[in-house]
Amino acid sequence: MDPEIIIPIVVFSSITLCVYTWITRSQSTKQKQLATLQSLAESNSDISTDVIQALMPNNRAENDFRRGALLLAIGLLITLTIAVLGGGEAAVFGLTPAVIGVMYIIFAKRAAK
């Protein structure tokens, strides 16, 4: 196969795999937390707010920062890959996730204050 075809396929497959892994991992964590809360509720024991806070931490700013950093990295990778492969004006499409990532980072910094 031609390297001009293999390189974009590998790059976009890697990006897709990273996003899929990220979504799957976050979903399994949420399911485990929900299962724990459900088992506590079914045991008819008192569930204090401390237990709920421990199982469902509110670290939205930290998660937003991580999302922003990941989207920024993916956007820059897409932009640079398309630019290096001679895509020219098509490289602008990679800036969309990069700009969204920057906005996530800005909102995370503002929420942390």
CA-based nearest residue to 40, from 22, 26, 19, 54? 54
Tell me how crowded residue 56 is: count the other CB atoms within 10 A of its CB.
Answer: 13
- Domain identity same for 18 and 49: yes
- Domain identity same for 67 and 102: yes
- For residue 68, the enclosing domain spans 58-113
pLDDT greater than 90 at residue 102 = yes
Question: What is the Cβ-side half-sphere exposure of residue 78, based on CA atoms within 13 angstroms?
Answer: 22
- Domain identity same for 40 and 80: no
- Reported as a single tens digit per residue, the pLDDT across 62-97 is 788 888 998 899 889 888 888 888 777 777 888 888
Dihedral of alpha carbons 95, 101, 102, 107, sign: positive
Instruction: Tell me if the pTM is above 0.75.
Output: no
- Domain identity same for 47 and 66: no
Provide CB contacts within 8 A for 81, sequence distance 6+.
Answer: 7, 8, 11, 94
